């Protein structure tokens, strides 16, 4: 239900905006006393990727610049016994990469340490996260035709997830890749497993894929069209509840549309980064993945569903 | 507060008042009614010619006054009506007399409308009480031309609108849920139509409304900030009459009359919007299959069962529907529906000229829901609140100095927080049924109003309990970590948690001279059912909570003091009040609650603390022959102090505007034409602006400093209304017609409903976007009376 309710809110918001009027106004905000360090760190158990920590800064709200990369930091991750240093790659990018082959293990607790100079002062930050055992098993991904002839859309699919939610309470973060790249307009979704309730998960809708038409209409030039033979991979990460809370807070503050009927009190999203003026999160998470090859627009299984 | 000491003092005062009562007096009792319709005139004043003794008629129009057994004239007056007189003779026995008041045809409408406060009212030991009559409601310019009692309430000092267009209201910095809104004694849990832009109260059905801003009589309980007690018309007992109104978006019809003359009458009023009928005109700009309408029906039977018995049956049903389909968003159907239903049965009985009894049984049910269909996900979501109760009250007119009231109330509550069901076999939506909760809330109260020379006191005590009941799997949350600690099963009817509260009420009025009085009051109130807004402004999907093992009842102590004065031959009335409120167990959602409809762990998301509010209100009512109205100013500050929020620092309530000005006037150009206007100004509501932004995963998010330390832009608006009556209507004869033209937001100010801070990806820069709902809204209605 979570997805549908989010969509429901979005539709309500659109309806309200359509019924009202808007205008851009000049608002004076007082700006920040000091700049923040923003940490975007994820440590997984995947060996097919390099572990990464992205460091950026913050800017005053109406400052036109994009937040700068934070370069020259010392970034290290420790499992309590050994410490690995991350290397900024490429230099000046603020992207710090772990050594080849380095990954986490479910059950392990990992501590991220950052030493960096911001605003001319030396700052020290720490964050810890415990990698939980995977809470989701036997993952499969498939897609179903969801278009309607009257909509004049060449093809529109709903991607759904199958699998088994294990008995322990878990929270999930889902993202996806198309072939070797992060899927454009990627799905990043956090799910409370109360929606699965320790049961077999059948046909949990995750996102919508479109080949042309609607996708282009909605996303313009940034849309990448699916082609036959594309490999779509879904990653289901088991995340700590704290990261789930962070993610939901982040979504709330990133939407930022202050529609009184549906917006709660604005506040900073939570963080597990210890140290002054810090935002973002460092999370250790185990993963399960499943792939599907886009073979034909309308698959036989769904013909039956649609009554063809 | 030492409750025992208060009770002792109250008992001594009562005895002091009762004991000196001696013989040589008689009791005059009866009803005050409008001569034409037989409608009871609640609040009419019956007094001796020397004005040393006087009483007010109660909601049934009943009065009882003890006077010296000598030949003298007793008068009865009510605003807008000629004063009636009755001469008593010293026969030494009790008398009965019904006052029938004639409408004052000589008085112009403007004066009639606002003529509420006279010398008799000055002596009442009641602070923060405002009475709004049907005449006032129809005079004040209204949104979309719909006469609305809550729109008038919002124009009074101390009452504020949380956001543009909303019919929710905040009284003295309190929450919207802290107002007890009663329709003929039955509580309404959602009093708004159209997501709150219009209220449930049809102007044709409303007789009058009393607003108590904190100094509640002991007969009211369950809310902290205010009581809005709305009474509907009983129906004309002598002749049939009615009206039909045709407006641009709404039409109304009302009819009333006798079923058995002077014995049994009825009133029926209904209205419906038909905005959706015009949607096809707008073509593709309006989503397909859009539905947007509401309707409501008020019905009432009033029966004079015997000279001593009155029986009333009142029903109300209102429903809102807002639905559409949007193909571009893969939405086959989305329909929001909200419904309120109330039923009230009231019996009043006069045991003796000095003893009046009333019992009210009521039922109120609010149900909201969303039906949706998207691809293979179709669902029905509903949530509901129900309250069934009985209120009994006994009024003993002991003597000319003492009026004692006592009663027993009992209420049964049932709450269905969320039911989600799939619609159709193909729907992949899973069933979600959050646990239904039950509670019972009995209460007893006693109160005495006592006159000691120039001093009038009212003191009372209300004692209530609130018990949540099984069957339930009660969750207990750790008060420190807020994690679920344990779940305990309770059998059906088993008590889960009981709270007990003593609520002392005290107020005093001291008349310095007939035109000047000083008043002071203290009251304590408990609130056991509360709403914590998911959103900033309050919406129909906001979550209600019953007190539970995790949620303590909110407690409010309010102190207030003020003065009332009459000037210029009573043409001007000045009132000033200051208040201080201290609330315990105030709650708010934690930061980033990530709420969804069906969150079973909602209680674990709450954080608790305290809050306080203080302020001052001044009001000048003016009432001249052609011109009348009022000017009000309010200063109010409301602060929340919840240690786990905002880094432990207190923060301002988002509902409170620190400064507000209300100006209302009505001017009779001729007997046929009148002009009315209002102007309102609010300083900006507290809000939180972002101070910075950062990027995470390619998406921007905002950084904030302190909660609610910024303010929205100031709000101001003028509304105008012009009314033209034909000669028959202007002369007060039956029938006739009138035209009403109104302009809401006459100078078309774009008042901010909200500010959205968004990153404009096209221009690659952040922007502040003001969302405003209304520009100028003209409306025209034509009313025919028969």
Longest dimension (CA), chain A: 67
Of the candidates A26, A38, A265, which has its C-beta nearest B654's C-beta? A265
The string of DSSP codes covering B307-319 is TTEEEEEEEEEEE
- CB contact at 8 A, B214 and B523: yes
Pairs of CB atoms within 8 A across A/B:
242
What pLDDT band is residue B468 in, cutting at 50, 70 and 90?
A: very high
Domains delineated in chain B: 3-104 (2.60.40.1120), 129-669 (2.40.170.20)
Q: Give the phi and the psi of residue B649 in degrees, each rounded to 5.
A: -90, 140
**Model confidence band, residue B122 (pLDDT cutoffs 50, 70, 90):** low
* Tokens, residue B743: 């302009």
The distance of B373 to chain A (nearest Cα, Å) reads 9
- Say which residue, A193 or A113, is predicted with more confidence: A113
Give the pLDDT confidence of B628-664 residue by residue, as tens digits. Answer: 889 999 999 999 999 999 989 999 998 889 999 999 9
How far does the CA of residue B695 sit from the closest CA of chain A (Å)? 7
Short-list B630, B682, B627, B628, CA closest to B654 = B682
Q: What is the pLDDT of residues B170-180, one digit of tens each?
A: 899 898 889 99
Question: Which helix or strand (DSSP H or E) is residue B62 part of?
Answer: strand B62-68
Which residue spans of chain A are classified as CATH 2.60.40?
Answer: 134-239+288-306
- Joined together, the tokens standing for residue A254 give 């990133």
pLDDT at B281 (0 to 100): 62
What is the sign, positive or negative, of the torsion defined by CA atoms of B535, B636, B174, B360? negative
Spatial separation of the C-alpha atoms in residues B748 and A84, rounded to whole Å: 64
How far is the C-alpha of B6 from the C-alpha of B463, rounded, in Å? 14
C-beta atoms of A61 and B703 within 8 A:
yes
Mean pLDDT of B151-166: 83
Q: Which two structure tokens, joined as six digits, stand for B421?
A: 């069901």
| Token pair belonging to B610 | 């305290």
DSSP H or E stretch at residue A247: helix A241-255
Tens digit of each residue's pLDDT (9 = 90 or more) over A195-209:
555 556 655 666 655
* Token duo for residue B278: 């015009």
Interface touch B535/A261, C-beta < 8 Å = yes
Omega within 30 of 0 (cis) for the link into A13? no
A-chain CB neighbours of B701 within 8 Å are 250, 253-254, 256, 269, 279
State whether the Cα torsion B682-B687-B693-B696 is positive or negative: negative
Q: Which of A202-211, B100-109, B156-165, B717-726 has the highest mean pLDDT?
A: B717-726
Of A250, A254, A261, the CB nearest to B537: A261
Paired tokens of B269: 């009023």
Split at pLDDT 50, 70, 90, the class of A305 is very low
Give B612-633 pLDDT, tens digit per residue. Answer: 999 999 999 888 878 888 999 9
**Tell me: the pLDDT tens digits for A212-240?**
433 443 333 333 455 677 787 888 888 88
Cα angle B252, B258, B260; round to 5? 150
CA distances from A208 to A3, A186, B754 (A): 12, 10, 31
* Category of B178 on φ-ψ map: left (φ > 0), alpha (ψ -120 to 50) or beta: alpha
| Residues B395, B352: Cα–Cα separation, whole Å | 11
Coil, strand or helix at B239: coil
pLDDT score for B116: 43
Q: What pLDDT, on the 0 to 100 scale, is given for residue B469?
A: 95
Query: What are B353-398's pLDDT values in tens digits?
Result: 899 999 999 999 998 887 777 666 677 888 889 999 999 999 999 9
Quote the tokens at residue A116.
């960096």
Considering only residues B437 and B118, tell me which one the structure prediction assigns the higher pLDDT. B437
User: Which residue of B600, B703, B768 is in closest CB contact with A36?
Assistant: B703
Interface of A with B in 81-140 (CB under 8 A): none
Residue burial B71-92, b: 16+ Cβ < 10 Å; e: rest: eeebbbbbbbbbebebebeeee
Neighbouring C-beta atoms of residue B131, cutoff 10 Å: 16
Collect all residues with Cβ–Cβ distance below 8 Å to A304 and sequence separation of at least 6. Answer: none
Pick from B333, B243, B261, B345: which is nearest to B304 by CA?
A: B261
The mean pLDDT of chain B is 85
pLDDT value at A75 more than 70 = yes
The 3-state DSSP composition of chain B as helix, strand, coil percent (nearest 5) reads 10, 60, 30
Helix (H, G, I), strand (E, B) or coil at A229: coil
The conformation of residue B20, written as its DSSP 8-state character, comes to T
Å between B519 CA and nearest CA of chain A: 38
Q: Which of A227, A3, A35, A58 has its CA nearest to residue A121?
A: A35
Which residues from A are below 8 Å from B713, CB to CB? 25
Closest chain B residue to A37 measured between Cα atoms? B694
CA-based nearest residue in chain B for residue A214: B328
CB-based burial of residue B561 (10 Å sphere; 0-12 exposed, 13-18 middle, 19+ buried)?
A: middle
Q: Is A266 left (phi over 0), alpha (psi -120 to 50) or beta?
A: beta
- B729 or A146: which leads in pLDDT: B729
Answer yes or no: are the C-beta atoms of A142 and A292 closer than 8 Å.
Answer: yes
Q: Residue B639 in contact with residue B613, Cβ under 8 Å?
A: yes
Burial class (CB in 10 A: 0-12, 13-18, 19+), A300: exposed
pLDDT in tens, A128-149: 999 998 887 777 777 766 555 4
- Taking the Cβ of residue A273 and every Cβ of chain B, the question of whether any pair is shorter than 8 Å is answered with no
Q: Which residue of A has its CA nearest to B326?
A: A11
Quote the pLDDT of residue A3.
38
Quick: pLDDT tens for B126-146.
666 778 777 777 777 776 777
Q: What pLDDT is recorded for position A5?
A: 43
Please tell me which of the candidates B536, B539, B771 has its beta carbon nearest to residue A17. Answer: B771
Rounded to the nearest angstrom, the minimum Cα separation between A29 and chain B is: 6
Dig out the tokens for B235 from the structure: 């129906």
Nearest to B754 among A31, A259, A264 (CB): A259
Q: From the list A15, A56, A257, which residue is nearest B324 (CB)?
A: A15
Cα–Cα distance between B432 and B142 in angstroms, integer?
A: 41
- Report helix, strand or coil for B4: helix
Q: Which residues of B594-616 are buried (b: 16+ CB within 10 A; e: fewer)?
A: bbbbbbbebbbbbbbbbbbbbbb
**What per-residue confidence (pLDDT) applies to A134?**
85
pLDDT of residue B755: 82
- Check whether domain A134-239+288-306 has CATH 2.60.40, yes or no: yes
Whether A249 and chain B come into contact, CB under 8 Å, resolves to: yes
Place of tokens 């509902």: B655
C-alpha dihedral (B699, B703, B707, B711), degrees to nearest 10 = -90
First and final C-alpha spacing in chain B: 57
Per-residue pLDDT band for B592 (boundaries 50, 70, 90) equals confident
CA–CA separation, B212 and B507 (whole Å): 13
Of A5, A58, A250, which is closest to B693 when you measure between CB atoms? A58
Nearest-Cα distance to chain A for B124, in Å, is 40
Tell me if B587 sits within 8 A of B644, measured CB to CB.
no
Does the pLDDT of residue B426 top 70, yes or no?
Answer: no
The candidate with the shortest Cα–Cα distance to B597, out of A111, A123, A12, A6, is A6
**What was the pLDDT predicted at B22?**
47
- Specify whether the backbone of A45 is left (phi greater than 0), alpha (psi in -120 to 50) or beta: alpha
Q: Is B282 an 8 Å CB contact of chain A?
A: no
Exposure of B165 in the CB half-sphere (CA atoms within 13 A): 22
pLDDT reported for residue B756: 80
Question: pLDDT over 70 for what percent of chain A?
Answer: 64
Residues of A in contact with B750 (CB under 8 A): 21, 23
CA dihedral B460, B462, B463, B469 (to 10 degrees): 180
Judge whether B585 and B555 are in contact, CB under 8 Å: yes
pLDDT attached to residue B124: 60
Count of other CB atoms within 10 angstroms of residue B282: 9
Would you say A188 and A175 are in contact if contact means Cβ atoms under 8 Å apart? yes
Q: ipTM greater than 0.95, yes or no?
A: no
Show residues of chain A in contact with B775, CB under 8 Å. 21
The DSSP result for B651-684, as a single string, is EE-TT--SEEEEEEEEEESSSSEEEEEEEEEEPP
- pLDDT, position B311: 95
From residue A109, how far is each of A78, A112, A201, B194 by CA, in Å?
A: 8, 10, 29, 52
Residue of B nearest to A6 (CA): B596
User: What φ, ψ does residue B687 adopt, rounded to 5°?
Assistant: -155, 180
- C-alpha B78/C-alpha B76 separation (Å) is 7
Residues of B numbered 16-45 whose beta carbons fall under 8 angstroms of chain A's beta carbons: which are they? none
Average pLDDT over residues B459-465: 96
């Amino acid at each position: 239900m979570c997805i549908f309710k989010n969509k429901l809110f979005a539709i309500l918001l659109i309806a309200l905006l359509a019924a009202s009027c808007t205008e851009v106004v000049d608002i004076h905000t007082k700006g920040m006393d000091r700049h923040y360090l923003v940490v975007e760190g994820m440590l997984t158990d995947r060996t097919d990727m390099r572990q990464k920590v992205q460091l950026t800064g913050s800017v005053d709200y109406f400052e036109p610049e994009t937040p700068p990369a934070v370069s020259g930091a010392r970034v290290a991750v420790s499992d309590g016994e050994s410490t690995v240093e991350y290397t900024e790659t490429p230099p000046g990018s603020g992207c710090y990469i772990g050594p080849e082959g380095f990954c986490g293990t479910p059950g392990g607790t990992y501590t991220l340490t950052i030493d960096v100079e911001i605003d001319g002062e030396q700052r020290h930050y720490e964050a810890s996260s415990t990698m939980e055992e995977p809470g989701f098993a036997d993952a499969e991904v498939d897609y179903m035709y969801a278009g309607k002839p009257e909509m004049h859309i060449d093809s529109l699919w709903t991607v759904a997830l199958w699998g088994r939610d294990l008995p322990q309470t878990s929270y999930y973060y889902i993202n996806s890749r198309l072939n070797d790249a992060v899927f454009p307009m990627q799905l990043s979704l956090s799910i409370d497993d109360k929606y699965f309730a320790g049961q077999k998960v059948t046909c949990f809708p995750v996102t919508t894929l479109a080949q042309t038409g609607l996708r282009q209409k909605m996303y313009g030039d940034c849309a990448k069209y699916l082609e036959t033979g594309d490999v779509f991979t879904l990653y289901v990460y088991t995340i700590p509840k704290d990261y789930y809370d962070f993610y939901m807070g982040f979504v709330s503050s990133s939407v930022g549309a202050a529609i009184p009927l549906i917006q709660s009190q604005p506040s900073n999203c939570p963080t597990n980064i210890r140290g002054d003026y810090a935002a973002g999160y460092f999370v250790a998470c185990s993963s399960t993945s499943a792939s599907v090859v886009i073979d034909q627009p309308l698959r036989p299984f769904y013909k039956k569903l649609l009554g063809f | 507060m030492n409750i025992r000491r208060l009770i002792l003092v109250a008992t001594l005062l009562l005895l002091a008042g009762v004991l000196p009562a001696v013989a040589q007096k008689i009791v005059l009792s009866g009803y005050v009614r409008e001569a034409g319709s037989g409608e009871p005139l609640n609040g009419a004043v019956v007094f001796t010619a020397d004005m040393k003794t006087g009483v007010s008629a109660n909601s049934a129009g009943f009065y009882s006054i003890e006077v010296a057994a000598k030949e003298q004239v007793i008068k009865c007056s009510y605003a807008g009506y000629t004063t009636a007189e009755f001469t008593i003779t010293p026969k030494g026995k009790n008398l009965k007399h019904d006052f029938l008041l004639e409408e004052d045809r000589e008085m112009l409408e403007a004066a009639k409308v606002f003529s509420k406060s006279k010398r008799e009212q000055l002596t009442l030991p009641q602070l923060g009480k405002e009475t709004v009559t049907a005449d006032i409601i129809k005079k004040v310019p209204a949104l979309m031309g719909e006469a609305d009692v809550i729109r008038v309430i919002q124009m009074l000092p101390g009452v504020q609108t949380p956001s543009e267009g909303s019919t929710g209201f905040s009284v003295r910095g309190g929450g919207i849920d802290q107002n007890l809104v009663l329709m003929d004694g039955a509580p309404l849990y959602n009093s708004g139509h159209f997501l709150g832009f219009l209220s449930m109260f049809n102007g044709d059905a409303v007789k009058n409304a009393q607003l108590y801003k904190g100094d509640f009589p002991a007969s009211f309980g369950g809310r902290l900030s205010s009581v809005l007690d709305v009474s509907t018309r009983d129906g004309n007992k002598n002749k049939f009459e009615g009206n039909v109104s045709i407006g641009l978006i709404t039409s109304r019809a009302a009819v009333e009359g006798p079923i058995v003359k002077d014995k049994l009458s009825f009133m029926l009023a209904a209205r419906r919007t038909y905005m959706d009928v015009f949607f096809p005109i707008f073509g593709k700009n309006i989503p397909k299959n859009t539905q947007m309408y509401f309707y409501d029906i008020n019905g009432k039977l009033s029966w004079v069962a015997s000279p001593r018995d009155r029986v009333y049956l009142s029903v109300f049903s209102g429903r809102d529907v807002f639905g559409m389909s949007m193909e571009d968003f893969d939405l086959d159907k989305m329909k929001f529906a909200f419904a309120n239903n109330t039923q009230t049965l009231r019996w009043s009985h006069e045991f003796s000229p000095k003893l009046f009894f009333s019992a009210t049984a009521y039922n109120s049910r609010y149900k909201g829901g969303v039906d949706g269909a998207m691809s293979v996900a179709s669902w029905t979501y509903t949530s509901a609140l129900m309250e069934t109760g009985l209120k009994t009250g006994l009024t003993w007119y002991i003597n000319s100095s003492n009026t004692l009231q006592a009663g027993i109330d009992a209420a049964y509550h049932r709450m269905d927080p969320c039911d989600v069901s799939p619609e159709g076999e193909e729907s992949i939506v899973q069933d979600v049924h959050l646990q239904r909760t039950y509670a019972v809330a009995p209460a007893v109260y006693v109160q005495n109003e006592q006159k000691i020379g120039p001093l009038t006191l009212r003191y009372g005590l209300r004692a209530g309990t609130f018990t949540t009941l099984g069957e339930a799997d009660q969750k207990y949350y750790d008060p420190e970590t807020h994690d679920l600690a344990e779940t305990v099963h309770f059998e059906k009817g088993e008590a889960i948690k009981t709270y007990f509260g003593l609520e002392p009420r005290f107020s005093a009025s001291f008349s310095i001279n007939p035109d000047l009085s000083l008043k002071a009051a203290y009251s304590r109130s408990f609130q056991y059912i509360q709403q914590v807004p998911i959103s900033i402004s309050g919406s129909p999907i906001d979550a209600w909570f019953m007190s539970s093992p995790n949620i303590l009842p909110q407690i409010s102590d309010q102190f207030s003091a003020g003065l009332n004065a009459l000037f210029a031959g009573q043409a001007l009335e000045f009132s000033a009040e200051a208040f201080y409120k201290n609330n315990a167990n105030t709650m708010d959602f934690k930061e980033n609650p990530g709420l969804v409809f069906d969150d079973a762990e909602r209680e674990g998301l709450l954080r608790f603390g305290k809050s306080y509010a203080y302020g001052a209100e001044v009001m000048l009512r003016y009432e001249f022959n052609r011109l009348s109205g009022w000017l009000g100013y309010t200063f109010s500050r409301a602060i929340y102090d919840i240690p786990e929020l905002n880094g432990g620092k207190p923060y301002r309530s988002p509902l409170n505007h620190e400064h507000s000005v209300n100006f209302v006037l009505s001017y009779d150009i001729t007997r046929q034409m009148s002009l009315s206007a209002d102007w309102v100004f609010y300083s900006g509501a507290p809000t939180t602006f972002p101070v910075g932004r950062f990027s995470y995963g390619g998406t921007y998010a905002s950084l904030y400093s302190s909660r609610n330390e910024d303010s929205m832009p100031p709000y101001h608006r003028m509304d105008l209304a012009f009314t033209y009556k034909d000669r028959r209507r202007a002369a007060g004869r039956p029938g006739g017609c009138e035209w009403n033209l109104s302009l809401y937001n006459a100078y078309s100010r774009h008042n901010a409903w909200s500010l959205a801070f968004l990153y404009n990806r096209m221009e690659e820069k952040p922007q502040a976007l003001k969302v405003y709902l209304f520009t100028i809204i003209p409306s025209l209605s034509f009313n025919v009376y028969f």
